[in-house]
Structure 1
């Protein structure tokens, strides 16, 4: 029960903020390529000219959950008695979770949806970035 009782919520919130900031930069740089790969225009995504905050709220909640479980799983995989998480441990666990679950699930879904490989690579690269950034923040603070 110690894993659940000793949660550093500040580290989780900061890992979430860091990965959201990564997303802002990632999709600012790759936004045109992402929309092309998605087969949408800015007008398709924002018909009223204004974007809804809903996707950002959902992203924040999802990334908070991801940071929480990355912390728990790193502790459980590395050493069940450990409370402190090391940067390399958290990044390696995150990268394995990305490859074993996130990326494979995305490839599977995108294949059935007929999505372009470029969309999978853009979104999958961002998910790997989330795991790395959150691993670094959690390793530093948790």
Structure 2
């Protein structure tokens, strides 16, 4: 996990941009999301929720950074940069969101809004970290 410390700056910047994207995304879908999530009024802006959210965004960026560092160099860099988050999202995030929402009896609209948010976050984070640059630990390749 040394790669996290080596890439703390790109990871934190990517987390911040993912966090900002989420604020804009949910502002745009505020009414639709509140209806689908059965939330009355405006959700609380409790600082603890925001701290947990940022920490989760940073962890997501850290794991994504590891995947980007380990990606095969046979494919073009930007193809892998955009496909890596799409594969991780489609393989882990979307299925878990689908199952949770189906068991909770939530509308499909909520799954689309929440799933779209996480896909956007991951793509933005991957592109941000590639643009800034990531450092592989000694002995590990990086395109």
Q: Indicate conservation of the 8 Å contact 1:94/1:135, yes or no.
A: yes
Structure 2's unaligned 5+ residue stretches are 134-143
1:109 equivalent in alignment to 2:100: yes
Aligned residue number for residue 9 of structure 2: 10
Among 89, 94, 111, the residue aligned to 2:85: 94
TM-score normalised by the chain length of structure 2: 0.83
Quick check: which one's helix share is greater?
A: 1
TM-score normalised by the chain length of structure 1: 0.84
Write the distance in 2 (CA, Å) between the matches of 1:87 and 1:139.
9
Aligned length: 130
Q: Indicate conservation of the 8 Å contact 1:11/1:137, yes or no.
A: yes
Write the distance in 1 (CA, Å) between the matches of 2:79 and 2:62.
17
Write the distance in 1 (CA, Å) between the matches of 2:85 and 2:100.
21
Change beyond 3 A, Cα 1:15–1:87: farther
RMSD (CA atoms): 1.9
Change beyond 3 A, Cα 1:98–1:138: same
Structure 1's unaligned 5+ residue stretches are 80-85
Aligned residue number for residue 46 of structure 2: 52
How much has 1:7 moved relative to structure 2?
A: 2.5
